[in-house]
Amino acid sequence: MERALPEPLMIKGFLVYKGLLSIDDQRALVQEIRQVAEIAPFYSPITPGGRPMSVRMTAAGRLGWITDRRGYRYEPQHPSGISWPPIPDSVMKIWTALVPNGPSPDCCLINYYGEQARMGLHQDKDEGDFSYPVVSISLGDDGLFRMGEVGRTAKTQSVWLSSGDVVVMGGAARLAWHGIDRIRFGSSSLLLKAGRLNLTLRVVRPV
Ligand code: MD6
Ligand code: FE
């Protein structure tokens, strides 16, 4: 990630940087995420309605996004009670390259998608401040990313996100609806097992 930034695709206000990360960048990220998961293991979150989410989750940074019967929120601790590990350096470098004048992110949410996992259309609106973008990093298998607008029922457009692609959701798109419809399970050999990792960097409370 030391190169000049390429021109992104602009889809409904989302900036999509296809192939931003080299294979070496991707491998280094996976190593660092493995270390995070040794301290803060992936777990299956439960929605406030009592349904298990299909993705498995963990986080790094001062705060992690949590859902359970009590609702959606950010918490300084993993459900086990330990503090989230710090956001790895290789992840922070990607943020700084894309958001050079912003504050540091205080959450890196980490989602793992198995074969049947998906992420329903949602808005990222549990943060205290929407002035800064959310930066999303895809690793492993391809995922079909659906992008909408701030209104729930606006027309959507989809793009396949592959390993090494990075999406920036800022400005008017910051509160746009989006989700992952499906995974092309086994399409990448980056991870030891098939599946997709997605990292999203957020500024929850600027400090
Ligand atoms: C995913 N991404 O790619 C799900 N959120 O697995 C997100 O939910 C997301 O890609 C905010 C900004 C960018 C994203
Ligand atoms: Fe999201």
pLDDT recorded at residue 3: 65
- C-alpha–C-alpha distance, residues 91 and 88, integer Å: 5
Per-residue pLDDT reduced to its tens digit, 54-85? 999 999 999 999 999 999 999 999 999 999 99
In short, whether 111's Cβ falls inside 6 Å of ligand 1 is yes
Pocket test for ligand 1, best of 118, 199, 200 (most atoms within 8 A of CB): 200
Residue 94, domain member (yes or no): yes
Residue 207, domain member (yes or no): no
Q: Which of 30, 87, 29 is nearest to 60 (CA)?
A: 87
Per-residue pLDDT reduced to its tens digit, 40-60? 999 999 999 999 999 999 999
Per the DSSP assignment, residues forming a β-bridge with 198 are 111, 138
Whole-number Å distance, alpha carbon 43 to ligand 2 midpoint, is 18
Residue 3, domain member (yes or no): no
pLDDT recorded at residue 207: 73
- 22: tokens are 């080299």
- C-alpha–C-alpha distance, residues 128 and 74, integer Å: 10
Q: Residue 171 maps to which CATH number?
A: 2.60.120.590
- C-alpha–C-alpha distance, residues 30 and 149, integer Å: 31
Residue 173, domain member (yes or no): yes
pLDDT recorded at residue 2: 59
Whole-number Å distance, alpha carbon 200 to ligand 1 midpoint, is 6
Count: domains in the chain:
1
Residue 42, domain member (yes or no): yes
Ligand 1 atom with least separation from CA of 111: 6
Ligand 1 atom with least separation from CA of 113: 6
Q: Are 168 and 104 in contact (CB under 8 A)?
A: no
Question: Which residues are CB-contacts of 4 (< 8 A; sequence separation ≥ 6)?
Answer: none
For the chain, count helices (H), then strands (E): 2, 13
In short, whether 63's Cβ falls inside 6 Å of ligand 1 is no
Residue 4, domain member (yes or no): no
Whole-number Å distance, alpha carbon 119 to ligand 2 midpoint, is 8
Exposure string of 162-187, with b = 16+ CB inside 10 Å and e = fewer, is bbbbbbbbbeebbebbbbbeebebeb
In short, whether 119's Cβ falls inside 6 Å of ligand 1 is yes
Residue 1, domain member (yes or no): no
Sheet with 134-140, edge to edge strand ranges: 9-11, 14-17, 166-169, 134-140, 196-202, 107-113, 56-60
pLDDT recorded at residue 1: 66
Residue 191, domain member (yes or no): yes
Neighbours of 41 (CB within 10 A): 13
Neighbours of 84 (CB within 10 A): 23
pLDDT recorded at residue 206: 77
In which domain, by residue range, is 118 found?
9-202
Give the residue whose CA is nearest to atom 12 of ligand 1: 134
Residues of the chain with pLDDT under 50: none
